[in-house]
Amino acid sequence: MRGLLFAAGAALALMGPGLAKAETACADLKATKLAHAEVTAAATESQGGADYCRLSVTSRPTSDSEIGVEVWIPVGAAWNGKFVQLGNGGFAGSINSASLKRIAAQGYAVAGTDNGHRAGGTDASWALGHREKIVDYGWRSLKETTEAAKALIAAQKAGGPKQSYFVGCSDGGREALMEAQRYPADFDGIVAGAPANYMSLLFGNAAGQQQALARPGAYLDKAALETLQAGALKDCGGESFIRDPLSCRFDPKTLICKPGQNTGCLTPAQAAAAAEIYRGRKDPRTGRVPLPGVSPGAEALGGGWQAWITGVNQAGIANAAGYQFGSNAFKYFAFQDPKFDFLTMDLGAEFDRAKAIMSPMIDSDSADLSAFKKRGGKLIQYHGWNDPAIPARSSILYAEDLRRTMGDMSGFYRLYMVPGMLHCAGGNGPGNVDWIATLDAWVVGGQAPASVTATGPGGASQLLCPHPGVARREADGWACKVAKR
C-alpha cells in the first residue's frame, strides 16, 4: 500500500502545479474546441532537457479577420503554473517564436499573436480597405490570444494558470495598457515598456519631425547629430549619458555657428529643426504641444536618431522607422489613401481629423484603471530616457494623468524611467532589468517594488526608483534618491 501511495504521489507531482489528472497529450490538443478559432498545428519540442507543447491557432472573430496565435506550454513539472502573454512590436505582422521559446524555458506557458495580418513591422498597407483588421491590430487580437491560450492551457493541464501576466514594450507596451484598460480581469500583473499608448499623437510627432527636417538646410546629418549629442552631454552632466534628464535644459540654438566657424556647430535651420524634435508637434492654431518630443543625449548613437528619425543620410530619410510608421499610418489607418503625403499635412485641423479616425482603434490612453486596481492587478511601466522612437516624457504624461484620475497609486502602479536607455533596450546607460521576475515578486509575494537595479555591459549598474510624485512615499521612504522635477 505504501508503495502504491508513493507511486500515485509521484505521478501527481509530474502533472504540474495544482493538477488533478494526467495532462492531455500535445497532439490531442488539436481537437480542442475554441470559439471561432481552430488549432492548426500541435507538436512537442524539446530544449534543455524539458518538453514543450507548441500550438498554432487561427482565430476569425469577423469575416475579415485572420488572427495568428502561437502558444507554448511546458510539459509536466517544467511548468511553473503561470502564464505570460507577450506583446508585439511596430505594426506587428509576425510572431516572435524565439521570444516565446525563451519565456517558456523559464517555466511559463506563453502566447503571442501576429495581431491579425502578415507583413513587415512598418508596413500598414494591409489596412487598406480592411477596417476590421485595424481593429484586430489595435485590440481585438489581444483578447483572442488570451482566450485561446487560457483555454488550451486548461485543456492540457486540466486547470488554468495560477497567475497570468502580460508583458510588452513599444507597441507591446501600448498593448499592455490596452489590456489593463479594456480587459482588467484578464491579467494579474502587467509590464508596459516604452508604451506607444498615445499612438495617434506619436504619428503627429513623426509628421512634425519630418516636416521640420524637410525645410531648406534643416536636415541633420551625422556630423550635426554628433554635435547635438556632444553639446547635450556637456550641458547636462558631462558623462556618457544624462543621469538627471529632468533637470536638463539643453538648447540647440547655443550650437549655432559663429562667424567664421564651419565645423562642430549647426546652421540656424538645423538648430530650429532639432528644437522642434525635442519639443514635439505644436498645434499651429493654439501653440499647444499635446505630446512631448525626444529627450537629448543620444542623438548620434547606433539605434538612435538615424534609425528612427533622420535616416543614414538625406536621400535615405524615408527609410527611417519613424518616417515609415508615420507615413503608413496616415495613408492606411487614417485616410485610406496610398498617395497621401504627410509632409504636406496640416498639423492642426487635418491631423485632428486623422486622430479622430485612428484613436478609437489603436490608442490606449485612458487613465481610468479603477477596475484593474479593484481586482488587485499590478502594473509596472518603464521607459528609457533616450528613447528616439517614443518620447520618454510620454510615460510621465500618462503617469500624471493616472495620478489625477486615480489618486494614490502606490498599491498597484510603478513607473521607472531609465537614464541612458534607448528604445526598449540599448544605449549608454545600464538598462537591463528582469521585469517579469520583478512583477511576479510583487503579485505573488505582495511586496511592492521600491528600487530596482538595472545592469549593463562590463558590470555597470544603476539604481532606479519609481518616478517622483507618482508612487506615494511609503512609511519607510524610498530606497534610493531621485531627482526632483
Q: For the segment 112-135, what is each residue's pLDDT rounded down to a tens digit? A: 999 999 999 999 999 999 999 999
CB 254, CB 231: distance < 8 Å: yes
Residue 52, CB half-sphere, CA atoms under 13 Å: how many?
A: 25
Name the more confident of 3 and 278: 278
List pLDDT tens digits, range 332-384.
Answer: 999 999 999 999 999 999 999 999 999 999 999 999 999 999 999 999 999 99
List pLDDT tens digits, range 189-209.
Answer: 999 999 999 999 999 999 999
Sequence-ordered list of residues with C-beta below 8 angstroms from that of 24, at least 6 positions apart, any chain: 155, 156, 158
List pLDDT tens digits, range 273-311.
Answer: 999 999 999 999 999 999 999 999 999 999 999 999 999
Which helix (H) or strand (E) element contains residue 203? Answer: helix 199-213
CA–CA dist 349, 355 (Å, integer):
10
List pLDDT tens digits, range 410-436.
Answer: 899 999 999 999 999 999 999 999 999
Long-range CB pairs of 456-463 (<8 Å, 24+ gap) are 456/429, 456/430, 456/431, 456/432, 460/430, 461/430, 462/243, 462/418, 462/419, 462/420, 462/429, 462/430
> What pLDDT does 413 receive?
96
Which helix (H) or strand (E) element contains residue 350? Answer: helix 349-362
CA–CA dist 342, 203 (Å, integer):
10
> What pLDDT does 251 receive?
98
> What pLDDT does 19 receive?
40
> What pLDDT does 50 receive?
97
**Cell numbers linked to 156:** 492540457
Selection from 134, 303, 267, 289 nearest residue 209 by Cα:
289
> What pLDDT does 356 receive?
98
The H-assigned helical ranges of 137-183 are: 141-157, 171-182
> What pLDDT does 471 receive?
43
Hey, which residues does 245 pair with through a beta bridge?
A: none
CA–CA dist 232, 225 (Å, integer):
11
**Cell numbers linked to 460:** 555597470
CA–CA dist 447, 473 (Å, integer):
14
Over 70: is that where the pLDDT of 388 sits? yes
Neighbours of 303 (CB within 10 A): 17
Is residue 455 left, alpha or beta, with left meaning phi > 0 and alpha meaning psi from -120 to 50? Answer: beta
The residue assigned the cell 555591459 is 457
Alpha-carbon distances of 350 from 333, 341, 342, rounded to whole Å:
14, 12, 10
User: Given pLDDT bands bounded at 50, 70 and 90, which one contains residue 479?
Assistant: very low
Is residue 458 left, alpha or beta, with left meaning phi > 0 and alpha meaning psi from -120 to 50? Answer: left
List pLDDT tens digits, range 73-102.
Answer: 999 999 999 999 999 999 999 999 999 999
**Angle 199-213/268-279 helices, nearest 10 degrees?**
180
> What pLDDT does 467 receive?
84
Average pLDDT over residues 239-252: 94
Sequence ranges of the domains in the chain: 201-362
- What are the phi and psi torsion angles at 38 (to 5°)? -140, 150
**Cell numbers linked to 352:** 485632428
> What pLDDT does 13 receive?
38
b/e per residue 430-469 (b: at least 16 CB within 10 A): bbbbebbebbbebbeeeebbbebebebeeeeebebbbbbe
Chain-wide mean pLDDT for the chain?
92
Q: Which residues are catalytic?
A: 170, 387, 423
CA–CA dist 422, 432 (Å, integer):
11
Q: Tell me, what DSSP letter sits at residue 25?
A: P
CA–CA dist 380, 181 (Å, integer):
14
